[in-house]
Amino acid sequence: MKTPQDSEEFIAQQKRNLTDNPECASSSYNLGVALMQEGRLDEAIACFDEAISNSGRMFEAWVNLGYIHFKKGDLEKVAYANRQAVEIEPRYARGYANLGFAFLQLSRTQEAIEALKKAIALNPDIAQA
């Protein structure tokens, strides 16, 4: 049985992958996730930005950017990132739920209601909405 990789080993592997293929959106994204989990948020932002610039379909990177901006307290950026995510993947209920939450916190009630209704329409069991 293979033992799980520790986070520093995984981070090092993703960096090696990017040395070999600097435009690999998946490696940039994976590195961003690992850095985010380690609390290295500014480094994670740079990785997610790189993943987005190398792949026009990287909606997950936008969602993770939204999470980081939430942790940093920037709700406008949370809303922006999740709007980008749902524009890329309009069937992504969690993106709409995140967008609705951000709008609620920004006192943009009507936009929040619309986003949350969309989240529920896509996934009636979504907990965030």
Write the pLDDT tens digit of every residue in 89-108.
999 999 999 999 999 999 99
Nearest alpha-carbon partner for 53 in 87, 22, 96, 14:
22
Q: Can you give the pLDDT at residue 105? A: 97
Q: How confident is the model at residue 56 (pLDDT cuts 50, 70, 90)?
A: confident
- More reliable by pLDDT, 7 or 45: 45
Q: Can you give the pLDDT at residue 129? A: 58
pLDDT of 3 > 70? The answer is no
Helical axes 59-72 vs 75-88, angle rounded to 10°? 170
pLDDT of 30 > 90? The answer is yes
The ranges of the chain annotated as CATH 1.25.40.10 are 7-55, 73-129
pLDDT of 4 > 60? The answer is no
73-129 CATH, one of 1.25.40.10, 3.40.80.10, 1.10.1270.20, 3.40.720.10: 1.25.40.10
Give the helix ranges, DSSP H, for the chain: 7-20, 25-37, 41-54, 59-72, 75-88, 93-105, 109-122
CA 51 to CA 62: how far, in whole Å? Answer: 10
What class does CATH assign to 7-55? mainly alpha
Mean pLDDT in residue range 68-86: 98
Mean pLDDT in residue range 48-74: 97
